[in-house]
Structure 1
Amino acid sequence: MKLRFRLDGWRFGGTLLLLIGVIGLGVSLYRWAELRRADQEIVVYEERSPESGFVPLTLMNVQEGAPTLAIATPEVGESTPAMTVPGANQSAPTFEPTPTPLPAIPKRLIIAKIDLDAPITPVKARKVKVGEAIFGQWLAPDEFAVGWPTETAMLGQVGNTVLIGHHNVHGKVFERLHELEAGDLIVVEGGSRRFSYQVVNVMILPERDADLQTRLENARWIQPSQDERLTLVTCWPANSNTHRLIIVARPIGQSPMPDAEPQ
């Protein structure tokens, strides 16, 4: 009887030890997987990275907002036509309501001035650790294609639609982007529509060797905005990536693409 009791106790103890070992192994594997995931998500940023096409750093979960665009408006003067004020004998005009088109995912970028016609592909951000802070950094496609950061606005939506691309590697999709000037036309296709934009800002900003605060100030141009706008980003100059070329355009209209079905 005592021998049987001892055998049962040994079996119980062995099972318990085995169970503890399995639990310990599971915890270790879980921690290893978490560390692996963290290593994949956080990349230690190198200030003098030889790679190009990076979008400026953006602070994770903090949206200060893009700078306000200064759009010139005509001043009211003697040459300004007088406004017609409806009188008692004037009938108010009637308008047929038209449905508001849904926002569209950008699919194609056309800039006739620089002979650019390129597909647009969605891109994701990587996490970058600088000091103790974690930042986001969008990566341009490693092919002849323009990248659309999926967290930025869609076409026809209030907000900042950001497009990024390489300028001297991987197809050089934005090789001639620096030739654009204020007033130039940019067309983006998406959702069976063509969205037209007019360039209003062309900026070349120090980036790679600049201090962190300057780089974060640069990054404001790719943050969400209170207006509808299009922002194109690449590196500069042609043989390096020390600066960022940032072009901002405002919407001037949209139209159905030829043979497109009504939405």
Structure 2
Amino acid sequence: MYYYPMKKINKKILIKTLLIIIFLVLVGIVGINSRKNVNTTDNSSQLETNNPTPQAKFKDFHLEITKLNISAPVIANVDGKNKEIYDSALENGVAQFAGTANPGEKSNIFIFGHSSYYLWDPGEYKTIFAKLNDLDDDDLISVWWQQKEYIYKVTDKKIVSPNDVSVLKPTESEQLTLMTCWPIGTIDKRLIVIAKPN
């Protein structure tokens, strides 16, 4: 009878010991990986010092709004009339409406994104434009296109009907138009932010 309780105690001790060992191994792996990342960062900064040529921050189409802490890839030439296509694109960033201008083309660059979306659907950008209404006149927006940064200054903000396609029309001078559903959690209206080259 004495052997049974000892076996139970030994099993408990064994399980606890194994859990501690697993925990320590995992902590060690994380520590080693973080050191590798630090070393990689240190080496890259040394390379940058030796290489005086400026590097583009983003190689592809990208949108940044520092005030709102937004940084997202722009998926180019997305068919905004085909829900299946644009929903798929919006899982991976914000989208440029097909047929609108690219930065530097002196016309309307139209980019749209979610203010809210179903939590269970895939993608990290379901609320990327939730704070778009917090932009004020003169706030800056950066768009990276073909390794070049284009900076725009907010000049207007308005709410329009979902059927108002005038916001998609080409413009005589370059402008950036951002659009999202409004109010958050609905598809009743569209919030439009217009910005001109800075």
TM exceeding 0.5:
yes
Q: Which runs of 5+ in 2 are unaligned?
A: 1-58, 118-122
Q: Does 1:182 align with 2:128?
A: no
Name the residue aligned to 2:93. Answer: 145
Deviation string, structure 1 residues 17-59 (Cα, Å, up to 9, x no partner): xxxxxxxxxxxxxxxxxxxxxxxxxxxxxxxxxxxxxxxxxxx
Deviation at 1:126, TM superposition (A): 5.9
Find the partner of 1:222 among 132, 147, 168: 168
> Which has more radius of gyration?
1
Amino acid at match of 2:100: T
Find the partner of 2:76 among 101, 114, 122: 122
Q: Report which structure shows greater RCO (CA 8 Å, sep ≥6).
A: 1
Sort the Cα spacing of 1:189 and 1:203 in 2 relative to 1 into closer, same or farther, 3 A: same
Q: Decide whether the 8 Å contact of 1:106 with 1:154 is kept in 2.
A: no
Sort the Cα spacing of 1:176 and 1:127 in 2 relative to 1 into closer, same or farther, 3 A: closer
Q: Which runs of 5+ in 1 are unaligned?
A: 1-104, 129-137, 208-214, 253-263
Amino acid at match of 2:133: H
Name the residue aligned to 2:37. Answer: none
Deviation at 1:158, TM superposition (A): 1.2
- 1:1-263 aligned at under 5 Å gives the runs 107-125=61-79, 139=86, 141-169=89-117, 170=123, 171-207=126-162, 215=163, 218-252=164-198
Q: Secondary structure at the match of 2:141?
A: strand
Q: Decide whether the 8 Å contact of 1:199 with 1:249 is kept in 2.
A: yes
Q: Decide whether the 8 Å contact of 1:152 with 1:160 is kept in 2.
A: yes
Sort the Cα spacing of 1:127 and 1:247 in 2 relative to 1 into closer, same or farther, 3 A: closer
Sort the Cα spacing of 1:117 and 1:236 in 2 relative to 1 into closer, same or farther, 3 A: same
Deviation string, structure 1 residues 131-160 (Cα, Å, up to 9, x no partner): xxxxxxx83533150101231111111110
Identity of aligned residues (%): 29
TM-score (normalised: structure 1): 0.46
TM-score (normalised: structure 2): 0.60
Structure with more helix by fraction: 2
Q: Structure 1: how far apart are the matches of 2:149 and 2:75? A: 17
Q: Structure 2: how far apart are the matches of 1:195 and 1:181? A: 19
Name the residue aligned to 1:46. Answer: none
Number of matched pairs: 131
Amino acid at match of 1:125: D
Amino acid at match of 1:148: Q
Deviation at 1:106, TM superposition (A): 6.5
CA RMSD of aligned residues (A): 2.3
Deviation string, structure 1 residues 42-78 (Cα, Å, up to 9, x no partner): xxxxxxxxxxxxxxxxxxxxxxxxxxxxxxxxxxxxx
Q: Structure 2: how far apart are the matches of 1:144 and 1:172? A: 12
Q: Secondary structure at the match of 1:240?
A: coil
Deviation string, structure 1 residues 99-151 (Cα, Å, up to 9, x no partner): xxxxxx961100011100111112432658xxxxxxxxx83533150101231
Deviation at 1:206, TM superposition (A): 3.3
Q: Structure 2: how far apart are the matches of 1:166 and 1:221? A: 17
Deviation at 1:192, TM superposition (A): 1.6
Q: Decide whether the 8 Å contact of 1:106 with 1:155 is kept in 2.
A: no
Q: Decide whether the 8 Å contact of 2:77 with 2:99 is kept in 1.
A: no
